[in-house]
Amino acid sequence: MSNPMNTVARLLVALITLSAAALYAQQPAPAEKAAATPAAAPAPKEQPRWMQGRPAEMSNSTLAPIAPHLTGRPASELPISKLKVPPGFKVEVWVDGLPEARSMALGDKGTVFVSNRNLKDIYAVVDRGGKREVKKVLKGLDTPNGIAFHKGTLYVAEHTRITRYDGIEDKLDSPPAPTVVIEGLPKQVGHFWKFLAMGPDGKLYFNIGAPGNIVMPGYIQGTISRVDPKTRLMDNYAYGVRNSVGFDWHPKTKQLWFTEHGRDWMGDDMPSDELNVAKSKGQHFGYPYCHQGDTLDPEFGKNRSCKEFTPPALNLGAHIAPLGMRFYTGKMFPAEYQNSMLIAQHGSWNRTVKHGYNVIRVTVDDKGKVLKSTPFLEGFLEDPKATPPTWGRPVDVLQLKDGSILVSDDFNGIIYRVSYKK
């Protein structure tokens, strides 16, 4: 990425956003231009957004995105006993009735906050002696997928802004009004939902996805960016990231690890979704030029080389859709789990034989090298060729104070708990 800019004031962000928005408004995708001639001959018309980038030879595909059950589904109606965890571990339903449960954040006093993407609410789950009480604490937000909790404050990343709710854990029944940390982020048509996490440097990290499947992103799009909640200054941290909806910092090295979804419509097995590590600020991870570290994009890869970009630490599989991930630092699980990653994989739609819909564990060394990847939570996938192929879709993982792990499932609005006993 040329001309890296260290610090961008809010005003500048707004300006960039406006010009970027104008640019996207004025420049239709290539497919639109092709279809702009009125009364065109029977050629494919402009493609829906999720089909953008699909070649003609795949035009008979009937692959369609999968959507959550927006009312949630009660655990009592689902085959929970099919879930599998490694020997010694136990998986159970922690709470249900949270429609479209997405990202999770743990309050200082043990409250579990849970976000929405299509819906507009933030839930608070309070554990009262083994009985979980669910409250809708925030309502009417715009795509509030990203949440983070730090020193008494809940931060929420919506479509175009990040806000803070100070002291919310003491006021769950009458939550405070939001204070804006940053606003004027791009209002865009694709990948507009955000993941949010507090970094070891006290800055809030969030993704600004590419505004489509395979398109040229603007300067602050296709990035992981960060904002200092004290100064409200923002800068880009990582470039060439199509969309990351899960990241965390290695407990020892403090390096940023993140999951990333690869582009669609290059076939069942291409390209792989990625697990990346940003060892320093300013690295470029390839999008839209290079995918999975070794494959130039058929359109955008001309005149580029994959050697220009930071390759993934691990290729996870095509369309497997890795989302939330955290390093395990608790005391409950066996010692080998220390500092290994648990990654929720939402599962594929852009693949004739579906895979994913699980949680995996990835072990890495202190140098950023991946040692191994093993299944951790499985059993959602029922029939890889059915529509839908699964009865649940993991989104995020969260470690509780006792060292057990929560896994959210937006398809059903359920949170599962995985615990271990010797």
Partner 1 sequence: MQIAAVLFFVPAAGYAAAAAAVPPQAATCVACHGAGGNSVNPVVPSLAGQPKQFITTQLVMFREGNRKNAEMAPFAANLSNTDLNELAAYFSAQPLVPPVRTLHAEKTDAGRLLTQQYFCVNCHGQTLRGQMHIPRLAGQQAEYLRVQLLGFKAATRFDMDGQMSSAVQALTPADIDLLADYISALR
Q: What is the DSSP letter of 313?
A: S
- Minimum Å gap between C-beta 326 and partner 1 is 26
State which residue, 16 or 119, has the beta carbon closest to partner 1. Answer: 119
Q: Give me the residues paired with residue 122 across strands.
A: 138
Cα–chain center distance at 315: 16
Q: Are 292 and 313 in contact (CB under 8 A)?
A: no
Find the largest Cα–Cα distance for the chain.
70
- The CA angle 264-66-397, to the nearest 5 degrees, is 90
The pair of structure tokens assigned to 157 is 């990343």
Nearer to partner 1, 50 or 126 (CB): 50
Q: How far is the CB of 44 from partner 1 (least distance, A)?
A: 6
The first and second tokens of residue 311, run together, are 């390759």
Instruction: Compute the least distance from the CB of residue 73 to partner 1, in Å.
Output: 9
CB nearer to partner 1: give 192 or 309. Answer: 192
Q: Angle 140-144-145 (CA atoms, 0-180°, nearest 5)?
A: 150
The first and second tokens of residue 350, run together, are 């852009």
Cβ proximity to partner 1: between 44 and 200 the closer is 44
Q: CA-based angle 196:200:203, to the nearest 5? A: 50
Closest to partner 1 by CB, 398 vs 415, is: 415
Q: Which residues bind partner 1 (CB under 8 A)?
A: 32, 35-36, 38-39, 42-51, 59, 61-67, 69-72, 99, 118-120, 189-190, 387-388
Shortest Å distance, C-beta 212 to partner 1 = 9
Report the alpha-carbon distance of residue 368 to residue 348 in Å, rounded: 27
Asked if residues 351 and 387 have their Cβ atoms less than 8 Å apart, the reply is no
Shortest separation between residue 323's beta carbon and partner 1, angstroms: 16
Pick 59 or 374: Cβ nearer partner 1:
59
**Closest approach of Cβ 136 to partner 1, in Å?**
12
CB 40, min distance to partner 1, A:
9
Cβ distance to partner 1 smaller for residue 8 or 157: 157
CB of 95 to partner 1, least distance (A): 15
Structure-token pair, residue 151: 């020193």
CA 185 to mean position of chain CA atoms: 17
Contact 345, 313 (CB under 8 A): no
Residue number with CB closer to partner 1 (9 or 67):
67
User: How distant is the alpha carbon of residue 370 from its chain centre?
Assistant: 20
Distance separating alpha carbons of residues 137 and 111, to the nearest angstrom? 11
